[in-house]
Every structure is written in C-alpha cells, then in structure tokens.
Structure 1
Amino acid sequence: MNVDTLSYNYQMNVGKSQIYEVIHEEQQRYFQSNGFSNGEFQEGAEIPLTMPSKLGTTKIPAIMRLSKLTQDEIELITFYNKGEIIQRYVLDARSSSKTQVTYSERNFFHQARNQYSFIFLALLYKFFYNRGMKKRMVYLEKQCRKKEEGVA
C-alpha cells in the first residue's frame, strides 16, 4: 500500500459469499438513503452527497460512484472539489467459513500540498481509523450472523 492509502485487514469467521452479500446490501442501503432510485444497484450507480471533512468541521459536496462490484471486490470512488477518495473492500476466502476482508481508502488530491498534508496527518489519524474500522468489521460480521440465524 502507498503512504496515501489507509488500510485495515480483518479475518471474518464467515464465508466469502456471505460477507459479499452483507457489504453489497449495506452499500445499497447507503445509496438509497442518499436518494439513489435509478434502477438496479450496479457498477456506475451514483449519488450526490455531503461528506464531513477529515476533522469533521465542515460539510463538503461530493459525488459517490460504485465503480466495481464483483464477488472479490467492491470499490467506491468519491469525487469532490479537492480530489477523490477510492474506498475498496477486497474479499479473500481462506476457507469455506473464513474470509480475509481488506478495506482501504486511498486519497488523491489535485494540489500537491494537500497530498503532503494528508500523508502527514494520516500518521496521526491511523489510530482512530483502525479503531473505527474494527468496529465496522465487527458490525459486518454480526450482520452475517444475523442473516444465518434468519434475524436480518
């Protein structure tokens, strides 16, 4: 991974198809909650949104696009005035009941000084990022369990 990429790995005790289905449903729900109603949720789907800045002090207008949707990878690109963010889930089956999930966020900026600032701040931000990603992965794994039990 590059220095401009934040990444988190988590091994789930669920099958690859289960976690793919849950992530797909979560992303589809997110798109729908932001106004997506243009037919089937597939590659190329887009939504306008406002996202918080990394420090959470302001709201930034953006467009999010589902750029890749396969059993092995789900990729979203968020375009905004200073650059773009590529979010990616990579699913790697370790066995029929274990899946390595790698989530990454890569930030590209139009101006080099913003890129350098991000690289510096990412070193500090990484602790909070990891904590948040662990919570997200545990949540996704619990959603898989609920589906198995027929609760979801």
Structure 2
Amino acid sequence: MTLSFRSNCAISSALDLIGDKWSLLILRDMMFFGKKTFSEFAASEEKIATNILSDRLSNLERASIIKKGKLPNNKKTNIYSLTPKGITFLPSLIEVILWSDRNLAEHITPENKLLADTIKKDKYSFTETMYAKLEKEIIIK
C-alpha cells in the first residue's frame, strides 16, 4: 500500500506519518522504554485502545518507521523494532522532552525531569549514546 499525503509541505507530510499522539507515544515507548510487543504498548499508562494501537503500528510499519517480525524462539508473538529511518526521529523526541521541561515543568514527573536534566547536561553525548543503543536493538533485518 502506498502512503498518501495531504500536501507536499515538509511539516504536513511528516505529520501525516507521525503526527498523532499515539504514534509519538509508540515511538517514545520503543526508544526510551524498550517496548517491542503489542501487549507492552497496550500496557502504557496512556491506555491506548487496541484497535487504535493496531492501526498506528500498521501505519508506522507501512511508512518503514518500524518493522514487524517474530522472535526466533517465539513464532506466535509479533515483535516490533525501529528501522534506521525510525531511529532518526530520536532528536525530535528529545526536543519535545526539552520543550516540555521548559514549558510544562510543573506537570511532568520527577523521572521525566531527571531525563530532561540529563539531556541538558550534554545533549550531543546523550543523543549519540541513544543512537548507539537503538541501533544495537534493531533485531529484525
């Protein structure tokens, strides 16, 4: 199935692929919490409905942001991993974290504040460390 876009605008096109909150939260869960299975995503505190989760996983897969496969020792459970294209979204999520720290500090959890503080100490090193970690986790070729 081909991807469809509302326009040729760079922002609009990106939003067509990853612009809804659920897709962003799936990417967050994969990048920062190591989630890989449908049930792990469904257990997130935001309580995504299973039909929406299924749709967003399919959309992200169709856009080649994630891949779906099976574990060698468990052929019945689908496992999702980021693609190299998906990993390149990391800086955008980092910037959202920093924006929230600056503008929603009274609302975010102490754990999120700690993450933001860690990023602010050395954003470049944090980003490079996360890239290396995520690239090692690409398990579906």
When the two structures are superposed, what TM-score results if normalisation uses the length of structure 1? 0.29
Structure with higher strand content: 1
Q: Identify the structure with bigger relative contact order (alpha carbons < 8 Å, sequence gap 6+).
A: 1
